[in-house]
Amino acid sequence: MASTAPIEIGIIGGVGQRLELNDEEELRVRTPYGPTSTPVVVGLLGGKRVAYVIRRGVDSTIQPHLVPYTANVWALASLGVTSLITTTAAGGLRDSFPPGVFVVTDQLIDRTSNRPLTFYDRGESFELAPADPFDPSLRGLAAEALGDQGVRYRDFGTAVVINGPRFSTRAESRWHAAAGGDVVVTTLMPETTLALELGMGVVNVSFVTDDDAGTSGGPAESISADLVRRRIAQARPVLVRTVTELARRVPAGFRPSTAVPADLVAGVLARAAV
């Protein structure tokens, strides 16, 4: 029998990752923004009922700029999610963020374009102020989960989000680092701010797969999608344990520190699915 426990925790995984949940149930949630990247999988993880989407598809065939961010976030919010755990691959921009390190991201620099910006585009009087986009309580739990495993990690990091799918030029990497970036990713925006708009607290754990264009010290690697996939596969056990522990540690009934007015969220969630 499927559990009737509330679904308060959502997970958006990256780079073709797949979590094994207990009592799995696959849902095809209809949204006002079309289909989600993958069917939403609902089940038990860390003793909690969670809802899970693979951001770029099971085989990573959805390019970063084509991810249905609005559909993914809306679907999870419609199921009751208030805490969103995301994982991403990243390129390191500094010596202190080398390949092999895990990062509990605390800041974002958005360099994307032509992606959906907001749910509040139908005359609502609301402007999000995401000065600190990642929830401090959830970030603390993520750092604890990584620390308990004895892996290398940073409990902070500014992620520069680029359009992809191409990687950075050397000049762009230097520019991103000079702007204050620690790592570079392709999918955290607009995913993060869309989740904030629907009242979720967000925590991200990134894994540094490479020295982005060789700018973080030492000889430049030959960066490729295959290299990124191989290193993510190596990191997968740690990411799975971290996400599982995070789910276990999020308190029941958790609400983010900065919540959007409930009536605005309800208005977005009341929109007709297509």
Cα–Cα distance list, 200 to 83, 162, 169, 186 (Å): 5, 23, 34, 21
**How much is the pLDDT for 121?**
93
Planar angle of CA 140, 67, 136, nearest 5 degrees = 10
Q: How far apart are CA 231 and CA 229, in angstroms?
A: 6
**Both tokens assigned to 34:** 């079309």
Give per-residue pLDDT as tens, 170-183. Answer: 999 999 999 999 99
Which carries the bigger pLDDT value, residue 232 or residue 177?
177
pTM for the model = 0.94
Give per-residue pLDDT as tens, 243-263. Answer: 999 999 999 999 887 678 999
Q: How far apart are CA 69 and CA 250, in angstroms?
A: 24
Give per-residue pLDDT as tens, 43-66. Answer: 999 999 999 999 999 888 899 999
Q: How far apart are CA 152 and CA 92, in angstroms?
A: 14
Residue 44 near residue 75 (C-beta atoms within 8 A):
no
Rounded average pLDDT over 136-165? 97
Rounded average pLDDT over 132-158? 97
State which amino acid sits at residue 158. Answer: T
Q: What is the band of 148 on the pLDDT scale with cuts at 50, 70, 90?
A: very high
Query: Does residue 193 carry a pLDDT above 50?
Result: yes
DSSP classification of residue 251: P
Output the average pLDDT for the chain: 91
**How much is the pLDDT for 40?**
97
Point out which residues pair with 96 in neighbouring strands: none
Rounded average pLDDT over 205-213? 90
Domains detected in the chain = 9-256 (3.40.50.1580)
Residues labelled catalytic: 210, 212
Q: Is 247 helix (H, G, I), strand (E, B) or coil?
A: helix
Q: How far apart are CA 190 and CA 193, in angstroms?
A: 6
Residue 230: count other Cβ atoms within 10 Å of its Cβ: 12
Give per-residue pLDDT as tens, 70-123. Answer: 999 999 999 999 999 999 999 999 999 999 999 999 999 999 999 999 999 999
Residues 95/101/105/107 CA torsion (nearest 10 deg): 10
Rounded average pLDDT over 16-42? 91
